[in-house]
């Protein structure tokens, strides 16, 4: 099976993770722009971070045969630094319209403040203007309220529901997202309430349509193999393999290829790895023998 992990912060992961993900069948990832665990103090930090998402990280993934896409946006936490937020929004046209950027995101609410409202509305309008999908981060506290408020704002700003991917859902919010017509994504964290077992139950109850599984793995306790592990558990639980394929591959592809930035045919072909390549004269290797695949006719 091949897998798509449409929410993972690879900048905070190791090359061992990339290798394990490739070995487990993960063929494509989306890395949403987010905060860094502590607040940034300068707009230049955002410039360099966004540049790495469309540059170095994309290259690093390619060295392991994984297609790397990203989303660009100002996260809800840092939206509350209003002076800095204004400067970051000015960067949006420069980065969000680049190759491989498949959505505006991850945006949404953290503490549900007025500043977060303004920044979210601005970014939804920006996404509409450029016909980009919107990836929504829902708050970990007060999740239901955050999700309902985001759906209301999306409707008010005219974001088409098929362009809206609501992430970090749980059993209490899944119906809000699905009934609104949006995509409902679920983050599977190890040793938590929203683990793989509960995901199996969600798919049994609601079916696979518009449901997406992701890992949101980052610098915290998380698992970059959550998507293939959940798929395995679903198959063992007797869920139709076609349904498993929808929630761990096809739905994410359908949602984010609305950006026009995903070459589906290339994704379906066998990746050709060439580790002799360099990015700005930099390699992922440290003296190891580079793997250089022969191009295979498909
Ligand atoms: Zn995230």
Burial of 263 (0-12, 13-18, 19+ CB in 10 A): exposed
Query: What secondary structure does DSSP assign to 83-124, as a single string?
Result: HHHHHHHHHHHHHTTSTTEEEEEEEE-SS--HHHHHHHHHHH
**Would the pLDDT of 9 be above 90?**
yes
Q: Cβ distance 107 to 154 under 8 Å?
A: no
Q: Cα(71) to centroid of ligand 1, in Å?
A: 10
Residues 198-214 have a mean pLDDT of 97
Residues 228-243 have a mean pLDDT of 97
The per-residue pLDDT for 140 is 85
**Would the pLDDT of 43 be above 70?**
yes
The per-residue pLDDT for 297 is 64
Closest CA to 61 of 49, 69, 71, 51: 69
Q: Is residue 50 very low, low, confident or very high in pLDDT (cuts 50, 70, 90)? A: very high
**Would the pLDDT of 180 be above 90?**
yes
Q: Cα(9) to centroid of ligand 1, in Å?
A: 6
Residue 236 CA: distances (Å) to CA of 78, 91, 198, 251: 41, 46, 14, 21
Q: Cα(30) to centroid of ligand 1, in Å?
A: 10
Which residues have CB under 8 Å from 254's CB, separation 6+? none
Closest CA to 150 of 119, 171, 126: 119
Q: Is residue 194 very low, low, confident or very high in pLDDT (cuts 50, 70, 90)? A: confident
**Would the pLDDT of 298 be above 60?**
no
**Nearest 5°: phi and psi at 168?**
60, 40
Q: Cα(97) to centroid of ligand 1, in Å?
A: 20
Provide the token pair at 19: 């290798």
Q: Cα(254) to centroid of ligand 1, in Å?
A: 20
Query: What is the rounded average pLDDT for all residues in the chain?
Result: 96
Residues 66-92 have a mean pLDDT of 98
Q: What are the structural domains of the chain?
A: 3-268 (3.20.20.140)
Angle in degrees, 0-180, between the axes of helices 114-129 and 143-157, rounded to the nearest 10: 40
* Cα 134 to Cα 39: distance, rounded to the nearest angstrom: 23
The structure's pTM equals: 0.97
Q: Cα(215) to centroid of ligand 1, in Å?
A: 9
* Cα 49 to Cα 54: distance, rounded to the nearest angstrom: 9
Q: Cα(296) to centroid of ligand 1, in Å?
A: 35
Residues 34-56 have a mean pLDDT of 97
* Cα 77 to Cα 89: distance, rounded to the nearest angstrom: 14
Provide the token pair at 228: 């293939």
Q: Cα(23) to centroid of ligand 1, in Å?
A: 23
């Amino acid at each position: 099976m091949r897998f798509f992990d449409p929410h993972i912060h690879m900048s905070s992961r190791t090359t061992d993770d990339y290798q394990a993900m490739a070995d487990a069948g993960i063929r494509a990832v989306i890395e949403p722009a987010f905060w860094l665990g502590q607040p940034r103090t300068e707009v230049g930090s955002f410039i360099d971070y966004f540049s790495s998402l469309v540059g170095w990280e994309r290259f690093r993934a390619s060295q392991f045969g994984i297609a790397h896409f990203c989303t660009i946006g100002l996260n809800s936490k840092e939206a509350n630094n209003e002076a800095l937020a204004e400067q970051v929004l000015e960067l949006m046209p420069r980065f969000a319209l680049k190759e491989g950027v498949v959505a505006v995101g991850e945006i949404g609410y953290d503490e549900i403040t007025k500043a977060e409202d303004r920044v979210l509305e601005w970014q939804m309008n920006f996404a509409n203007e450029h016909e980009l999908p919107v990836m929504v981060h829902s708050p970990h506290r007060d999740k239901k309220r955050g999700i309902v408020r985001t759906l209301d704002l999306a409707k008010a700003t005219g974001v088409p529901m098929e362009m809206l991917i609501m992430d970090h859902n749980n059993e209490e919010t899944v119906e809000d997202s699905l009934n609104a017509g949006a995509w409902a994504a679920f983050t599977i964290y190890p040793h938590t309430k929203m683990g793989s077992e509960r995901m199996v139950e969600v798919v049994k109850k609601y079916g696979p349509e518009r449901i997406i599984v992701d890992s949101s793995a980052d610098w915290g306790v998380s698992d970059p193999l959550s998507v293939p592990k959940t798929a395995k558990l679903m198959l063992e639980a007797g869920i139709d393999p076609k349904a498993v394929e929808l929630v761990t591959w096809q739905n994410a592809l359908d949602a984010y290829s609305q950006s026009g930035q995903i070459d589906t045919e290339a994704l379906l072909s066998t990746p050709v790895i060439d580790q002799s390549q360099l990015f700005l004269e930099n390699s992922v290797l440290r003296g190891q023998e580079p793997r250089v695949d022969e191009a295979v006719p498909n």
